[in-house]
Amino acid sequence: MKILIIGASGLIGGAIYNALKNEHEVFGAYRTSSEYPVDTTNAASIRSLFERLPKLDAVINAAGAAPFKPFETLTEDDYYEGIKDKLMGQVNLVHIAKDHLNPGASITLTTGILADHPEKGSTALALVNGALHSFVMAAAPFIDNNIRINVVAPGSIGNHMAENELFAGHKAVAIDAVIEVYKEALFGSQTGQVFRIY
């Protein structure tokens, strides 16, 4: 398969890249890449990346941010920052990617536990994650050419959680387990799903 991974130098995207690179033709993109630079907050940048690539069988996005600030300090601009970056970055990616994919291809987005689980500072991120879950559910039936679209919502990755007060009562998830969930979204037959791992 020909697979594009955006965020391929990051914790999650890098692990996905390494897990797939030996058996597939994998293209790793991120802002500071010398080979496949892309900024998902800029639709023209996404378009120009796809114009350089062959038709693909899958796109996985593991990039996107929103401010992590206490509720009482959040401004309207803070919300828009997350909407422009993690939300519309991934929404625009889907709209642009669908014209550069083979029939039956797969698109996988990334959100996270903060869609469902409040933490001090998580409100702006939760807004975006929750919107993406609804977007994937409502876009999936209407994407042509049997293109599937899903989202992976990981918990906090790593084993540092006991050392701070965030995510009290939650277990950290192992990166290897998270990668298996991306593979399920990638190679399975489901569409419109939120794959939660936490």
Q: Which residues bind ligand NAP (CB under 6 A)?
A: 6-13, 30-32, 38-41, 62-64, 86, 89, 110, 112, 154, 156-157
Q: Which residue has the CB atom at the shortest distance from ligand NAP?
A: 10
Quick one: 35 or 104, whose CB is closer to ligand NAP? 35
CB atoms within 10 A of CB 107: 28
Separation of alpha carbons 193 and 190, rounded Å: 7
- DSSP for residue 157: B
Q: How far is the CB of 104 from ligand NAP (least distance, A)?
A: 26
Quick one: 65 or 146, whose CB is closer to ligand NAP? 65
CB atoms within 10 A of CB 159: 11
Quick one: 67 or 154, whose CB is closer to ligand NAP? 154
Separation of alpha carbons 193 and 94, rounded Å: 15
Quick one: 141 or 174, whose CB is closer to ligand NAP? 174
Quick one: 45 or 104, whose CB is closer to ligand NAP? 45
In one-letter notation, the amino acid at residue 71 is: F
Q: Is 192 exposed, middle or buried (0-12, 13-18, 19+ CB in 10 A)?
A: middle
Chain Cα centroid distance, residue 34: 21
